[in-house]
């Protein structure tokens, strides 16, 4: 699609480089495992490329699988391992919610105003289904619920469960008063 851009400003020969990256994650039936890919724009070849997320073999023994993107990705990776060391979980298989904890800390950190918004929380199942969750945002006591990264209006409703970002508990959604009061 990038090569199909044809209507550029006068004098510009090629589109500006795409300064974007994103994460794709899901279950691969081909290899019967969950996968994470980071997608980024390669300016040299003028195309999007992807790479498989690291299993963190050097630091986590190959039993950790997560990815961060953006300016603070290395800082976020380091913070995850700090938390794992504090909890004596570096050599334990898998993760609990450590990457999400770091994401929350970064979103709530006023010194990082370029990271923000309500997190999008989905559970991905091996049988190709996903379960989205409402999120009490910015916390359970706020009376505000987000879905898909967007804070819902007081009158908006859905049938999904709610995720508490501070306790990681899932429950029936406690909807606020529809009038917004």
pTM higher than 0.85, yes or no? no
Q: Give, in order, the Cα–Cα distances in Å from 80 to each of 45, 71, 92, 94.
A: 33, 16, 14, 12
What the block records as the tokens of 164 is 């508490």
Q: Give, in order, the Cα–Cα distances in Å from 81 to each of 25, 86, 121.
A: 21, 8, 22
Question: Is 23 exposed, middle or buried (CB count within 10 Å of its CB: 0-12, 13-18, 19+)?
Answer: middle
Integer Cα distance of 68 and 78 in angstroms: 11
Domains of the chain, by residue range, sit at 118-181
pLDDT in tens, the chain (181 residues): 556 666 778 888 777 777 889 999 988 889 888 899 999 988 888 788 999 988 777 776 777 889 999 989 999 999 999 999 999 999 888 899 999 999 999 999 999 999 999 999 999 888 879 999 999 999 999 999 999 999 999 999 999 999 999 999 999 999 988 775 5
Helix axes 73-86, 98-108, angle to 10 degrees: 120
Nearest Cα neighbor of 80 from 102, 63, 61, 108 is 102
Q: Is the dihedral of CA 104, 108, 114, 116 positive or negative?
A: positive
| Other beta carbons less than 10 A from residue 4's beta carbon | 5
Q: Facing residues of 22 across strands? A: 39
């Amino acid at each position: 699609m990038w090569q199909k851009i044809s209507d550029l400003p006068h004098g510009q020969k090629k589109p500006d480089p795409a300064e974007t990256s994103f994460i794709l994650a899901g279950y691969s039936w081909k290899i019967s495992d969950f996968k994470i890919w980071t997608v980024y724009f390669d300016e040299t070849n003028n195309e999007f490329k992807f790479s498989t997320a690291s299993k963190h073999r050097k630091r986590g023994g190959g039993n950790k699988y997560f990815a961060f993107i953006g300016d603070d990705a290395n800082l976020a990776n380091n913070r995850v391992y700090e938390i794992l060391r504090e909890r004596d979980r570096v050599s334990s298989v898998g993760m609990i919610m450590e990457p999400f904890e770091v994401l929350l800390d970064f979103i709530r950190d006023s010194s990082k105003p370029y990271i923000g918004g309500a997190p999008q929380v989905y559970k991905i199942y091996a049988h190709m289904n996903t379960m989205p969750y409402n999120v009490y945002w910015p916390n359970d006591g706020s009376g505000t619920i987000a879905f898909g990264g967007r804070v819902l209006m007081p009158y908006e409703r859905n049938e999904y469960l709610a995720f508490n970002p501070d306790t990681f508990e899932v429950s029936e959604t406690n909807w606020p008063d529809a009038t917004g009061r």
